[in-house]
Amino acid sequence: MKIWKHFWTITRHRWLVCCGCFRVGLYWRGLVHDLSKYSPTEFWVGAKYYQGDRSPNNAEREDKGYSSAWIHHKGRNPHHYEYWTDMSRQTGRYESVPMPRKFLVEMVMDRRAACMVYQGKNYTPGSALTYFEGSRERNLMHPDTQKELGYILTMLRDEGEKRTFRYLKRSVLKGKPFPWEDEADF
């Protein structure tokens, strides 16, 4: 039974992300979103640790001290900020780099959909921002990605989907500067 519930959960999540991506013109990103979740490496672990109200990766991490499914997933899906790390020539350490905008927008759709799936009736347009603000991940993201994501999630909470999606399509994906950026920098 957990296998079917897990399959339904990831399929519903993908569908919601796909619909969001289509609304802003990211057709290919919507179609290929999270396909690795159906690979044996991720799927069987997800089914084993399925709980229905949170990511199975968290349960695997609690059980084993790490999540093999997450390690596989983040390395194959560029809508995760963890994908965007590289060796810095200056420090010789792995550091985050800014995310390209199409993947930033897909990340917004991913977070929105995850909250919709896991929170169900309790989902609000502010859910993804609340999760983001309460997590430690902000410290791991590139500062530009962190600021851009926070701005978009705040807009989603305060102005709703219609306005936020229009902004993503007409401004973010067109490469227009964010409000705090000087247009002369472009």
pLDDT, tens digit, 9 for 90 and up, residues 24-75? 999 999 999 999 999 999 999 999 999 989 999 999 999 999 999 999 999 9
**Three-class DSSP category at 74:** helix
CA dihedral 57, 62, 64, 66 (to 10 degrees): 50
Q: Indicate whether this model's pTM tops 0.85.
A: yes
d(CA 147, CA 176): 15
Tokens of 178: 């964010």
Q: Which residues contact 127 (CB under 8 A, 6 or more apart)?
A: 112, 115, 116, 119
Given a cut of 80, is residue 182 above it in pLDDT?
Answer: no
Residue 149: what pLDDT? 98
Alpha helices (H) along the chain: 2-24, 27-32, 40-48, 56-64, 68-74, 101-119, 127-134, 143-167
Tokens of 68: 């093999």
Residue 51 DSSP code: -
Average pLDDT over residues 131-155: 95
For the chain, the average pLDDT equals 95
Beta strands 85-87 and 94-96 are antiparallel
pLDDT bin (cut points 50, 70, 90) of residue 20 is very high
Residue 98 DSSP code: P
Given a cut of 60, is residue 136 above it in pLDDT?
Answer: yes
Q: 113-152 burial string, b = 16+ CB within 10 Å, else e?
A: bbbbbbbeeebebebbbebbeeeeebeebbeebbbbbeeb
Given a cut of 80, is residue 112 above it in pLDDT?
Answer: yes
Q: Which has more pLDDT, 186 or 120?
A: 120
